[in-house]
Amino acid sequence: MSSGSTRTDGRVERGNQTRRLVLERTTNIASAEGLEGLSLGRIATELKLSKSGVFALFGSKEELQLATVRAAVDVYVDHVVRPTRELPPGAARVGALCRHWLDYSASRVFTGGCFFHAVTAEFDARSGPVHDAIAQARADWVRYVERTIEEARLTGGLDAELDVPQLAFEIIALMEAANAESVLHDDDSAYDKAGRGILSRLRAAATDPAEVPQQLRSS
């Protein structure tokens, strides 16, 4: 490898490291203050980076916001979705997905609780690329929950006549309510309430209630 290639590779890696550093910071800021709380100047100052360097990586506030949403999706998938992918379809897998979501929110993977709950409330009545990116991420999540429930239904773990979209809606609503209450009041008992509510719905839908986890929270 030539010295020129080595220098180029070094610059690329430093750029990637800076990008990761910036996005780790912006996802946490946005979860607590919203995406409008982001600016290239603020991030450069807080992380002691050159503003021109941050601008070179993101180009505009909107691109910084979009990159932050994409980074948050990756973190979300790592903590909530990926740990359940190898589990066999069934009520237990649905329960595991809910458990990982509750743990993700309760452990404050993002400073302000669930990143997407926060930014959805901020952008739900707006239009534009950032709104569309958030809406797409949420739609992907809802579809994944519905697919996980549908697979459990098709393999006989849940009632064949189950209204899958309705159960997904109720489960997501319970999880998001727990997140909101916990963040607002700094009270983790909301996650226990949500867990009990989710398990009650799963047992009612399960063909064998014994397949449903006894609890979703370790407390």
**Cα–Cα dist 140/170, whole Å:** 17
Q: Please, where are the H alpha helices in the chain?
A: 3-33, 40-46, 51-58, 61-76, 91-106, 115-123, 129-154, 164-185, 189-205
Is the pLDDT assigned to residue 158 strictly greater than 90?
A: yes
Strand, coil or helix: 112: coil
pLDDT digit string, tens, across residues 190-207: 999 999 999 999 999 999
Against a cut of 0.85, is the pTM above it? yes
User: pLDDT tens across 77-98, in order?
Assistant: 999 999 999 999 999 999 999 9
Domains parsed from the chain with CATH numbers: 66-211 (1.10.357.10)
Q: Please tell me the distance from the alpha carbon of residue 3 to that of residue 11, in angstroms, as a whole number.
A: 12
Helix (H, G, I), strand (E, B) or coil at 130: helix
State the residue for tokens 């800076």: 18
Instruction: Compute, in degrees rounded to 10, the torsion defined by CA atoms 191, 196, 198, 201.
Output: -160
Q: Which of 59, 61, 53 is nearest to 29 (CA)?
A: 61
